[in-house]
Amino acid sequence: MATARVGACLLVAVMCLSCGAAAAARSPEARMHRHLKRLNKPAVKSIESPDGDIIDCVHISHQPAFDHPFLKNHTIQMRPSYHPEGLYDESKTNVASSADGEKPMVQLWHQNGRCSPGTVPVRRTKKDDLLRASSFRRYGRKRHTVANPMSVDPAMLNEGGHQHAISYVQGEKYYGAKATINVWEPKIEQPNEFSLSQLWILGGSFGEDLNSIEAGWQVSPDLYGDNNTRLFTYWTSDAYQATGCYNILCAGFVQINSEVAMGASIFPLSGYSGSQYDISILIWKDPKEGHWWMQFGKEYVLGYWPSFLFSYLADSASMIEWGGEVVNSQPDGVHTSTQMGSGHFPEEGFSKASYFKNIQVVDSTNNLKAPRGLGTFTEQSNCYDVQNGNNGDWGSYFYYGGPGRSSNCQ
């Protein structure tokens, strides 16, 4: 009898230990540790940026993209089969350019080192990054935010708090888009707000089936924990519901470049009435492989979104948008003072307002060309506005942006 009691006690003890171990594995701390391990791949080398970021140089075949089941046996495309025709016709556009002809540093972390060929730079996700997110599952994702200039209900102008000032084209099949974008550091009023300037490659309707590829620069305290201006990308194949993410925070985008890190700080930045700096971004669909490639300036092909990630964009895009977006959380019931672009209206012009220039689309013959029928859209032009133009030096361009809250923007 005594032996049986001892055995029963040992069994209960083992069960309690097992329950305790299972509970520990389900704890928020343990889940966070597992999530960080999934995001942060083993590094060949790590570089600390002056802004506090850690850039991990990860072997190219170990990057987050290969967590996708469709990419397990994927052969990495190290270069696109084709570039768009006419890409190198411009003599002015560099990886980054300034009004006085400098070729500045591209990203801040370059001050302290570079990644070697065969690796890709990945901004390390920290514990604090996850703690700022509404949930681990939502970290690195955003809500439906694309401007729909074709159907705006005035009663829903601030739905979700997102406001835009954009130029756009629609009505044809598009196979890519390009622009040179002025880089600023707009002021953000609330930590849960952001300000960005980007291009959108869109396919499908604006319902739950929307496909989108996006790239540009953003300031997002909630995502990055600071107010630095950062290079970013985004993609979704279901209107931001369950697929896609910023940068390479989930499986999808395949990076091949060892020089430029998604989500890292851009340096230097434009100053009001001072030196102006811009970046050039091209996204296009390779007519042979079908993948959507991204190029940064003339020198850096960064990588690609595999065609199988998408439904509509597996063929072509039906709309292209360029411009700015902010979140207006309406703190205290009034419009946010978060800035778009430089924080100044388009009428102020060069060195004061933010711009997109050399705007082009890629057509069905893989040629870069000026967009036809360029339209503009903004929900509240007294808060953020946009003005198109065209000349021999800049081709199709526009100035955009604004200060947010003012006597005319409540």
Predicted confidence (pLDDT) per residue in 312-357, tens digit: 999 999 999 999 999 999 988 999 999 999 999 999 999 999 999 9
When pLDDT is cut at 50, 70 and 90, the band that residue 222 belongs to is: very high
Please determine, for residue 14, whether its predicted confidence score (pLDDT) is greater than 50.
no
pLDDT of residue 88: 66
Please determine, for residue 390, whether its predicted confidence score (pLDDT) is greater than 80.
yes
pLDDT of residue 141: 86
Over residues 177-206, the mean pLDDT reads: 96
When pLDDT is cut at 50, 70 and 90, the band that residue 133 belongs to is: confident
Q: What is the pLDDT of residues 371-386, one digit of tens each?
A: 999 999 999 999 999 9
Please determine, for residue 189, whether its predicted confidence score (pLDDT) is greater than 90.
yes
Percent of the chain scoring above 70 in pLDDT: 86
Over residues 181-206, the mean pLDDT reads: 95
pLDDT of residue 205: 84
Over residues 227-236, the mean pLDDT reads: 97
Over residues 295-303, the mean pLDDT reads: 93
Contacts of 28 (CB under 8 A, 6+ apart): none
Rounded to the nearest 10°, the torsion over CA 295, 297, 299, 305 is -10
Q: What is the pLDDT of residues 233-267, one digit of tens each?
A: 999 999 999 999 999 999 899 999 999 999 999 99
pLDDT of residue 332: 86
When pLDDT is cut at 50, 70 and 90, the band that residue 66 belongs to is: confident
Please determine, for residue 398, whether its predicted confidence score (pLDDT) is greater than 70.
yes
Please determine, for residue 92, whether its predicted confidence score (pLDDT) is greater than 50.
no
Q: What is the pLDDT of residues 22-32, one digit of tens each?
A: 555 577 788 89
Residues labelled as active-site residues: 214, 325
Please determine, for residue 308, whether its predicted confidence score (pLDDT) is greater than 80.
yes
**3-state SS string for the chain:** CHHHHHHHHHHHHHHHHHHHHHHHHHCHHHHHHHHHHHHCCCEEEEEECCCCCEEEEEEHHHCHHHHCHHHCCCCCCCCCCCCCECCCCCCCCCCEEECCCCCCCCEHHHHHCCCCCCEEEEECCCHHHHHHCCCCCCCCCCCCCCCCCCCCCHHHCCHHHEEEEEEEEEEEEECEEEEEEECCCCCCCCCCCCEEEEEEEEECCCCCCCEEEEEEEEECHHHHCCCCCEEEEEEECCCCCCCCCECCCCCCCEECCCCCCECCEECCCCCCCCCCEEEEEEEEECCCCCCEEEEECCCEEEEEECHHHCCHHHCCEEEEEEEEEEECCCHHHCCCCCCECCCCCHHHCCCCCEEEEEEEEECCCCEEECCCCCEEEECCCCCCEEEEEEECCCEEEEEEEECCCECCEC
pLDDT of residue 337: 97
Greater pLDDT, 364 or 38: 364
pLDDT of residue 159: 59
Please determine, for residue 144, whether its predicted confidence score (pLDDT) is greater than 70.
no
pLDDT of residue 394: 97
Please determine, for residue 142, whether its predicted confidence score (pLDDT) is greater than 90.
no
Please determine, for residue 20, whether its predicted confidence score (pLDDT) is greater than 90.
no
Provide the mean pLDDT of the chain. 88
Percent of the chain scoring above 90 in pLDDT: 70
